[in-house]
Amino acid sequence: MEDSGGSAAAETTPAAGPSTLRRILAKVVLGGSIILLGAVGYFSILYLAAAEVMPDLDPQLGTALTLGAVLVGVIVGGIVGAKLKYLLLK
């Protein structure tokens, strides 16, 4: 008897090749950068809240931390975006 085509479907199923691994790596990098940016933002918000409770802290330091968090977010976001574009479109 002739096969109903089940083996032909198995032959066309792609194995976990380099492109699949690149996509998984891109998702891991994106998730890690989102967690990193969230942590930076969280700690800058905590500092600003502590500055409200303890007014003897330097308010310029809180502003510097907030601007630093925004700057880090822009830089890391640009790097991650470029890497993802490179990995996914290669």
What secondary structure does DSSP assign to 27-75, as a single string?
HHHHHHHHHHHHHHHHHHHHHHHHHHH-TTS-HHHHHHHHHHHHHHHHH
* In-domain check, residue 12: no
Task: Look at residue 89 and tell me whether its pLDDT is greater than 60.
Answer: yes
Report the pLDDT value the prediction gives residue 14, as an integer from 0 to 100.
57
pLDDT at 3 over 70: no
76 found inside a domain? yes
pLDDT in tens, 7-56: 555 555 555 566 788 777 777 777 777 777 777 777 777 777 776 676 67
> Is 68 a member of any domain?
yes
Distances (CA, A) of 81 to 1, 38, 78: 54, 17, 5
Q: Is residue 5 part of a domain?
A: no
Query: What is the span of the domain harbouring residue 44?
Result: 17-89
Task: Answer yes or no: pTM beyond 0.85.
Answer: no
Say if 43 falls within a structural domain.
yes
- Whether 71 has a pLDDT exceeding 70, the answer reads yes
Owner of token pair 């989102």: 34
- Residue 2 included in any domain: no
